[in-house]
Chain A
Amino acid sequence: MEIIDILFTASFWAAAIRIASPLIFATLGELICERAGVLNLGIEGIMVAGAFAGWMAVYSGTALWTGVCVAMLVGMLFGLLHSTLTVPFGLSQHVVGLGITLLATSSTYYAYRLALPEVTSPPKIAAFQPYEIPILSDIPLLGPALFSQTPLTYLAFILVGVVSLVLYRTPLGLAVRAAGENPAAVAAQGLSVTAIRMGAVMVGSGLMAVGGAFLTMSAFDSFFFEMVNGRGWICIALVVFGSWRPGKALLGAILFAAFDALQIRVQQTSLGTHVPYQIFLMMPYILSILALILMSRRAQVPAALMVPFNKGER
């Protein structure tokens, strides 16, 4: 009963949307990479780097939105490294991706220690504050949940539409989707597969970094080690869950976030006093696995995902 009550509180849904936001950014980023045919396992590390870069920029005195741009830029740099190794050189996308994650994570921690050698607890910044959209935020339940979020959350939702529009309605999106399905088709039309794939990986990595930056600049106001905590890997699963479509991936992100928000609240109910809290922590992951099993049966994998393309090779 208590669980049903939780489902009808605005604070629960507000929390779900907040938890979903970084996942939406990073999932969109991964989706763009994979649509172009590149699996980007650097996502976890790029999120860490983005979280640090955005926060550090703001801590050093730049504006919040400049911080977001700095995070994006850092993400794109890692994307450039990833795509240089995987696209023109055609190296294993698994090895390069995991390597990028290790490199980005450890170089971030190193940079943190270099920048702040003395501190014991990380300093705080003035993070993004919730902005209540006039009129819309007055709608019961929906208003506080959807329209009293920080600007970065609104940006995440707007980006779902933008990415969808670009992928399905523009020549560029067409080229990206074709590059992930049959790169030979792209080459035969006189386009550069290398440029399209590298561009997609860079933009996608930039979005992943913004997803990380959401954690330090909107969800919290500080940077901790381990704060990304596997969210990147969840996003990889969310792309599959969404069958490589932005709208469905958004649904997946909200669903996962809702499970996560729910388990925290269920821990505080009478049920929580009898059951070990670890069980609740597992819940979103178990439910995600179940949902994945159901959804991924009909998933349409880009046919050339993880297949390098070398022009002029026979």
Chain B
Amino acid sequence: MTKEAVEALSLNEITKRFGELTANDAVSLSVNVGEVVALLGENGAGKTTLMNTLFGQYTADSGTVRVFGETLPPGNSRAALDAGVGMVHQHFTLADNLTVQENITLGVHSLLKFSLGRAAAKAQILALSKKFHLAVSPDAYVGTLSVGERQRVEILKALYRDVRILILDEPTAVLTPQETDDLFATLRLAIKEGLSIIFISHKLHEVMAIADRVVVLRHGKMAGGVKTKDTDKNALAAMMMGTEATPPDVSPAKPGAPLLALRTVTTPDIGSTPGLKSVSLTLKAGQIIGLAGVSGNGQAAMADVVGGVLSPSEGQVVLGSETAQKWTPRIAVQSGIARIPEDRHKTGTIADFDLVENAILERYTSADFSKSGWLNWSKSRAFADAIIDKYDVRCPGSDTPIRLLSGGNMQKLILGRVLEANPQIILANQPVRGLDIGAVNYVHSQLLAARERGAAVLLISEDLDEVMALSDVIHVIADGRLSPEFKRGDMTPAQLGLWMAGQGFEVDIPDAS
């Protein structure tokens, strides 16, 4: 910090616990006027918790927040807003049934006032959106907007309140590279206006591009702070993970026979989420196929079709050499497809069931676990205990309700359940979302081991780095259409970005096999 810099914000020794977990351990941070500070860290490092504490959504167990020299009362978002702190949450806090303007003006006027002052508000919103290049129509209903547009609404919400400090929580997680560039342009305009920005991310190149200074959190503690001009990506990654980051060592694939193929599969759109549009894809033994793309572009439909949840409205699913006549989850499981679902809480597990029940959830009717309609609990328990042992699931015992486990341990149980069935085909949908680096490496190594064993893996991920690191063959999915395949390293990020935005590829490669 230079001497003439004016301090906009300082967090002093913030500690926040959730039960046993210490999410923030005496974290201190200060931001100057006109400065962009990036808060960098792995998932679960405590970045969002820290910002929610600053914004008054959590009450810190100890420590204080000062904004422009004034100490904020703890746990009071209103006070934070009044002091000039605005936050763009990772999960947008917008109401779909209201218009853009209504969302922006919500809570700005006194609730006892009778008029909304619509005309003046609209003029101000339009002026702000022009000034900061945030194109969005004030009268549109938020429910009809794309993710990128919603984010612009979130930023406008803060600017409309004339905030001086803007917190952005993983703003680029849902954006295409082009949208990210637009966002950065907007942020640069905001800095010119004298705003201070805290930018939360775990993407190193973005941090290097936009931030003046980087503060790294690791396991809830400060791991260090450094100016971007004095560092580089590798050094940051090392700070973030505690060791020099090493991508997994992947040997060349030896693809075998096709195990599952989709032939010109089409599924209906669900609301604004596109279905698949004439998609052809072949999963081969001993190969990992990666599916890259911005979330909400048909990944869910793809996962549902492969997992048997969704039957194509047009096109066929081909198992080995036979076209499936009926396509249901049970047939999929019986055909040797194992699924790591995207949302382990919602579709992967049943929260109040114990580990044994969750372990046999997909295959309780198989001869391994039941006989003539009666469950065999001793076999089931042995199976669960074996998974707990082999996959190092940290838990008090197999009779614990699974909701008491951390996300990483829950995922390990699911992984064990999937791999112990010796599946021919593995559908891995966001397999490492929300896991710490150790768990990530473990899941990745297990997927690679399954490939070595001859399984076909379909890896769906929004994390481009993950797709690039693991996949033998990569497709991009955009607006429900599948790009031609390419090999790792064959594409530049700029080209990929264009594809992910749905441009630059027209034809699906017809399925030759």
A300 to B97, Cβ gap below 8 A? yes
* Segment touching B, from A71-79, A153-161, A188-196, A251-259: A188-196
Of the candidates A174, A186, A188, A191, the one whose C-beta lies within 8 Å of that of B105 is A174
Of the candidates A171, A175, A303, A311, the one whose C-beta lies within 8 Å of that of B97 is A303
A188 to B114, Cβ gap below 8 A? no
* Majority-rule SS of B interface residues: loop
- A171–B116 Cα gap in the complex (Å)? 6
List, in ascending order, chain A residues with CB within 8 A of B487's CB: none
Q: Contact string, B76-109, partner A, CB cutoff 8 A, digits 1/0?
A: 1111111000010101011111100011011111
Of the candidates B18, B76, B93, B96, the one whose C-beta lies within 8 Å of that of A303 is B96
Report B200 CB to chain A, min CB distance, Å: 16
A191 to B78, Cβ gap below 8 A? yes
State how many residues of chain A have any CB contact under 8 Å with chain B: 24
In the complex, B113 has a CB within 8 A of chain A: yes
List, in ascending order, chain A residues with CB within 8 A of B49's CB: 314
B93 to A185, Cβ gap below 8 A? yes
List, in ascending order, chain A residues with CB within 8 A of B94's CB: 182, 185
List, in ascending order, chain B residues with CB within 8 A of A186's CB: 95, 106-107
Of the candidates A171, A185, A188, the one whose C-beta lies within 8 Å of that of B111 is A171
In the complex, A187 has a CB within 8 A of chain B: yes
Q: A169-B116, A174-B98 are in contact. List 13 more A-B contacts (CB 8 A).
A: A169-B114, A170-B113, A177-B97, A181-B95, A181-B96, A187-B57, A188-B57, A189-B93, A190-B81, A191-B106, A303-B95, A314-B18, A314-B49
In the complex, B313 has a CB within 8 A of chain A: no
A175 to B113, Cβ gap below 8 A? no
List, in ascending order, chain A residues with CB within 8 A of B119's CB: none
State how many residues of chain B have any CB contact under 8 Å with chain A: 39
In the complex, B513 has a CB within 8 A of chain A: no
Of the candidates B82, B91, B95, the one whose C-beta lies within 8 Å of that of A190 is B82
In the complex, A217 has a CB within 8 A of chain B: no
List, in ascending order, chain A residues with CB within 8 A of B55's CB: 188
List, in ascending order, chain A residues with CB within 8 A of B106's CB: 171, 174-175, 178, 185-186, 189, 191
**Known contacts A190-B77, A312-B59; A182/B113 CB under 8 A:** no
Select from chain A the residue with minimum beta-carbon distance to B117. Answer: A171
**Known contacts A181-B98, A190-B80, A311-B57; A171/B75 CB under 8 A:** no
- A132–B134 Cα gap in the complex (Å)? 57
Instruction: Enumerate 25 A-B pairs (CB-CB under 8 Å) in ascending A order.
Output: A169-B115, A170-B113, A170-B115, A171-B106, A171-B109, A171-B110, A171-B111, A174-B116, A177-B97, A178-B98, A178-B102, A185-B95, A185-B103, A185-B106, A187-B93, A188-B57, A188-B77, A189-B107, A189-B108, A189-B157, A190-B107, A302-B97, A312-B57, A312-B58, A312-B75
List, in ascending order, chain A residues with CB within 8 A of B91's CB: 184
- A172–B105 Cα gap in the complex (Å)? 11
- A116–B114 Cα gap in the complex (Å)? 45
**Known contacts A178-B106, A189-B81, A314-B18; A170/B98 CB under 8 A:** no
- A177–B95 Cα gap in the complex (Å)? 8
In the complex, B112 has a CB within 8 A of chain A: yes
- A21–B337 Cα gap in the complex (Å)? 60
- A188–B95 Cα gap in the complex (Å)? 11
- A178–B80 Cα gap in the complex (Å)? 20
- A175–B109 Cα gap in the complex (Å)? 10
- A121–B374 Cα gap in the complex (Å)? 62
Report A196 CB to chain B, min CB distance, Å: 8
Q: 7 closest A-B pairs (Cβ-Cβ)? A: A190-B78, A189-B107, A188-B93, A181-B95, A171-B109, A185-B93, A178-B95
- A170–B113 Cα gap in the complex (Å)? 7
Report A211 CB to chain B, min CB distance, Å: 26
- A116–B75 Cα gap in the complex (Å)? 52
A177 to B18, Cβ gap below 8 A? no
List, in ascending order, chain A residues with CB within 8 A of B56's CB: 190
List, in ascending order, chain B residues with CB within 8 A of A311's CB: 57, 75
A184 to B93, Cβ gap below 8 A? yes
List, in ascending order, chain B residues with CB within 8 A of A188's CB: 55, 57, 77, 87, 89, 93
**B-facing residues in A134-193 (Cβ within 8 Å):** 169-172, 174-175, 177-178, 181-182, 184-191
List, in ascending order, chain B residues with CB within 8 A of A185's CB: 93-95, 103, 106
Report A304 CB to chain B, min CB distance, Å: 9
**A-facing residues in B127-148 (Cβ within 8 Å):** none
Select from chain B the residue with minimum beta-carbon distance to A179. Answer: B95
List, in ascending order, chain B residues with CB within 8 A of A302's CB: 97
A191 to B57, Cβ gap below 8 A? no
List, in ascending order, chain A residues with CB within 8 A of B77's CB: 187-190
List, in ascending order, chain B residues with CB within 8 A of A172's CB: 111-112
List, in ascending order, chain B residues with CB within 8 A of A312's CB: 57-59, 75
List, in ascending order, chain A residues with CB within 8 A of B98's CB: 174, 177-178, 181
List, in ascending order, chain B residues with CB within 8 A of A169's CB: 114-116
Select from chain A the residue with minimum beta-carbon distance to B75. Answer: A312
- A10–B132 Cα gap in the complex (Å)? 62
Report B48 CB to chain A, min CB distance, Å: 9
- A302–B97 Cα gap in the complex (Å)? 8
List, in ascending order, chain A residues with CB within 8 A of B96's CB: 181-182, 303
List, in ascending order, chain B residues with CB within 8 A of A191's CB: 78, 106-107, 111
List, in ascending order, chain B residues with CB within 8 A of A303's CB: 95-97
- A154–B240 Cα gap in the complex (Å)? 68
- A185–B98 Cα gap in the complex (Å)? 11
List, in ascending order, chain A residues with CB within 8 A of B79's CB: 190
Report A86 CB to chain B, min CB distance, Å: 20
- A181, A187, A189, A312, most chain B CB atoms within 10 A: A189
List, in ascending order, chain B residues with CB within 8 A of A177's CB: 95, 97-98
Select from chain A the residue with minimum beta-carbon distance to B89. Answer: A188
List, in ascending order, chain B residues with CB within 8 A of A189's CB: 77, 81, 93, 106-108, 157
A174 to B75, Cβ gap below 8 A? no
Report A188 CB to chain B, min CB distance, Å: 4
- A253–B113 Cα gap in the complex (Å)? 31
List, in ascending order, chain A residues with CB within 8 A of B80's CB: 190
List, in ascending order, chain A residues with CB within 8 A of B157's CB: 189
List, in ascending order, chain B residues with CB within 8 A of A171's CB: 105-111, 113, 116
**Known contacts A186-B107, A190-B78, A314-B18; A181/B97 CB under 8 A:** yes
A175 to B89, Cβ gap below 8 A? no
- A169, A311, A312, most chain B CB atoms within 10 A: A312
List, in ascending order, chain A residues with CB within 8 A of B97's CB: 177, 181, 300, 302-303
- A174–B116 Cα gap in the complex (Å)? 9
**A-facing residues in B30-86 (Cβ within 8 Å):** 49, 55-59, 75-82
List, in ascending order, chain A residues with CB within 8 A of B81's CB: 189-190
B93 to A182, Cβ gap below 8 A? yes
List, in ascending order, chain B residues with CB within 8 A of A170's CB: 111, 113-116
